[in-house]
Amino acid sequence: MTSLPRSRARLDALEAQGRTIAFWWRDDDARAPSLALDRLLALQSEAAVPLALAVIPDGLDQALALGLHDLPVSVLLHGHAHANHAPPDEKRAEFGDHRPLEAMTAELIEGRDKLCAMFGARFLPVFVPPWNRIGADVRRQLTSLGLPVLSVYGPVRGDEPREINTHLDIMDWRAMAGLSLDVLDETLAAEIKRRSGEDGKAREPIGLLTHHLQHDEAAWAGLAALLALLAHHPAATWPSLDHLLSADTSGQAGPLPTVQEKA
């Protein structure tokens, strides 16, 4: 039986129409080299698609930069220490509206400068808040801090700052296990469908979200199945993240049109 049959069928339909759809991949919580990261990079190398690592600056190991040398990997700013500052009765957040704004902006500046110094042009000015949550006050400050792009989970809001989001998390966080192939297939097929209609809605690139340090074997199997389909299907394209970030020349914060007619 073919893996991810519903998603493959939707991609096949796009191919028959001479259309393509864009994908990008974000992996969170990188801080140091590890066997799990090696496994992730091996899958990326086999698939030959771009990868964006969301890197935690506090406690960052210089060896991470050395290990990424010459690899097609971008680096994004992932919080400060990945520490929860929300009260016990609220969902976890490091950059929610729970701390003085001055403290949070200082951490953002420190992290931005650290990643820029360590990774150079590999670092892209994208902020990924831990747990995909950010407070309204700090959100408004991102552009002025040299972080004009935000990446969380779900559809873009369409206001400032500009967003490039993820939509398919391969983990079931309640079970702390990878999603089944059937659930992954259902979710991916639904995302492709949302971008395949004629109403022009939900046309931002589909973002794949992984967390290499948390993967069990089900998660690794799901990721391998996704890459086996999406890295090679003629209807799936993988523009680099810097290309996606430079593609919008309108100055607007809304989603990028990524379901396109083939040339």
Amino acid at 47: A
The 10s digit of each residue's pLDDT in 120-177 is 999 999 999 999 999 999 999 999 999 999 999 998 887 789 999 999 999 999 999 9
Alpha carbon 102 to its chain centroid, in Å, reads 27
Q: Is the dihedral of CA 103, 104, 109, 110 positive or negative?
A: positive
CB 254 within 8 A of CB 17: no
> Band of the pLDDT at 263, cuts 50, 70, 90?
very low
Q: 13-22, 144-153, 184-193, 250-259: which range is least confident on average?
A: 250-259
Max CA pair span of the chain: 55
CB 25 within 8 A of CB 210: yes
Which residues sit opposite 77 in a β-bridge?
55, 127
Helices (H), 93-251: 101-119, 136-141, 181-194, 217-230, 241-247
Could you give the angle at which helices 181-194 and 217-230 cross, rounded to 10 degrees? 40
- The mean pLDDT value of the chain amounts to 91
- How, if at all, do strands 171-172 and 177-178 pair? antiparallel
pLDDT value for 197:
72
Phi (first) and psi of residue 120, to 5 degrees: 60, -135
The 10s digit of each residue's pLDDT in 195-240 is 887 544 446 899 999 999 999 999 999 999 999 999 999 999 999 9
> Band of the pLDDT at 246, cuts 50, 70, 90?
confident
Rounded to whole angstroms, the Cα distance separating 171 from 216 reads 9
Helices (H), the chain: 5-16, 35-47, 62-67, 101-119, 136-141, 181-194, 217-230, 241-247
As a whole number, mean pLDDT of residues 2-15 equals 93
CATH number of 5-12+21-247: 3.20.20.370
